[in-house]
Amino acid sequence: MSEPTPPRSAEELRAAILQRYEGLSKRLQQIARYVLDEPNEVALETLAVIAERSGVQPSAIVRFAKSFGFDGASQMQRLFRDGLLSGNAALGYSERVRQFSQAVASKATGGPAEILSEFIEGTTLALRNLEQTVSDKDLTAVVRLIGSAETVYVVGFRRAFPVASYLAYSLQQAGKRIIFVDGVAALHRQQVRAITAKDLLIAVSFAPYAEETVQVVDGATERGARIVAISDSLVSPVAKPAAHVLQVRESEVRKFRSLAATICLAQALVIAYVFAQSGDGGAPAPKRRT
């Protein structure tokens, strides 16, 4: 068997990982997820630090790199340093979040105003990172999918439920035909039985990933519907079958994760859809209920 040709850019490596992910061993999948979710750290940190933070041995990272045709881990790291992340304002985001979380955890819990300040700081980090990780190309493609779909189904359970309900309500107010998969009486799978290849499912889910959402995504995929995932990882259970993934890395303050960045993304999608439907003229105001 001939050796694989190593990717020539970080983007090529990302595509190769996504293509081969299901065929990797559990340990190599663990490394693959870290490489996809933490490209800045892969670019800048030592092999020992990467191994510690991803929960594997350094030798496993070398084996992972060689499985994609690299001579070793350093050659793989060079792609991120010299290519995709050159000049990226999000550089070091994970490290800043880690330092922030450690600083907050070391302090005694303050009064309400101090807690608010902590959440504002964490949310600011997440919002600035969102601007770097979600591209105009991705947003434009998702807006077009929403516009071309006969019906847009929206699903999100547990922590993601407020985001899904906002999307369903706002897109419906903007004139789109919407079905909100709310799972009442555990009928979430039945609620997508009528979905077809002409429809779109927007699935919102974050670790540990609600099983109901995964089941809805699987059912929609079987029926040929297109999937847009809003998730925290490119290889989450809802992201892998998706046509487009909008990755959101929320902040966590005192073990409570925010939804601010995800809501911001959802609002941007709705408003972008409204403007796209209006053409060159001014954006029509969404319908209001009194």
For each of the domains in the chain, give its residue range(s) and CATH number, in order of start: 10-84 (1.10.10.10), 136-278 (3.40.50.10490)
pLDDT at 176 over 80: yes
Nearest CA-CA partner of 228 in 169, 166, 144, 170: 144
pLDDT of residue 56: 94
Burial class (CB in 10 A: 0-12, 13-18, 19+), 3: exposed
Mark residue 220 as left, alpha or beta (left: phi above 0; alpha: psi -120 to 50; beta: remaining): alpha
3-state secondary structure string, 195-249?
CCCCCEEEEEECCCCCHHHHHHHHHHHHCCCEEEEEECCCCCCCCCCCCEEEECC
Return the percent helix, strand and coil in the chain, to nearest 5: 55, 10, 35
Judged by average pLDDT, the poorest of 36-45, 200-209, 234-243 is 36-45
Nearest to 43 by CA among 77, 9, 7: 77
Query: For residue 76, what are its two tokens?
Result: 């793989």
Q: Which amino acid is at 213?
A: T
CB 181 within 8 A of CB 153: yes
CA 52, CA 224: separation in Å to the nearest integer?
A: 40
What local confidence, expressed as pLDDT, does residue 282 receive?
44
Instruction: Give the mean pLDDT of 12-40.
Output: 90
Share of the chain above pLDDT 90, in %: 58
Backbone phi, psi, residue 204, to 5° = -115, 120
Span 222-243, mean pLDDT? 94
Residue 151 has pLDDT above 70, yes or no: yes
225 touches 153 (CB < 8 A): yes
| pLDDT at residue 237, as a whole number | 92
Q: What is the reported pLDDT for 280?
A: 52
- At residue 180, does pLDDT exceed 90? yes
The model's pLDDT over 108-137, given as tens digits with 9 standing for 90+, comes to: 777 888 888 888 888 888 888 888 788 899
CA distance 128 to 261: 9
Residue with tokens 């809802």: 238
Residue 247: beta bridge partners? 231
Count Cβ atoms below 10 Å from residue 12 Cβ, excluding itself: 16
Peptide bond into 208 cis (omega under 30): yes
Q: What is the DSSP string of 37-99?
A: H-HHHHHHS-HHHHHHHHTS-HHHHHHHHHHTT-SSHHHHHHHIIIIITTT-TTTTHHHHHHH
Looking at residue 102, its pLDDT comes to 66
The predicted-structure confidence for 260-278, as pLDDT tens digits, reads as follows 999 999 999 999 999 999 8
pLDDT, average across residues 198-224: 96
Q: What is the mean pLDDT of residues 150-156?
A: 98
**Per-residue pLDDT at 67:** 93
Whether pLDDT at 101 is above 90: no
Closest CA to 264 of 239, 230, 240: 230
Nearest Cα neighbor of 55 from 80, 19, 26 is 26
Handedness of CA 179, 247, 59, 208 (dihedral sign): negative
Q: Give 185's DSSP letter.
A: G
pLDDT at 285: 47
Q: Whole-angstrom distance between the N-terminal and C-terminal Cα of the chain?
A: 68
Q: Band the pLDDT of 210: cuts 50, 70, 90.
A: very high
Which position has the higher pLDDT, 69 or 128? 69
Residue at token pair 């046509």 = 243
| The predicted structure's pLDDT at residue 93 | 61
Query: Residue 66 has what pLDDT?
Result: 93
In tens, the pLDDT along 181-208 reads 999 988 999 999 999 999 999 999 999 9
What pLDDT is stored for residue 123 in this prediction? 85
pLDDT at 212 over 70: yes
| Percent of all residues in the chain with a pLDDT value above 70, rounded to a whole number | 88
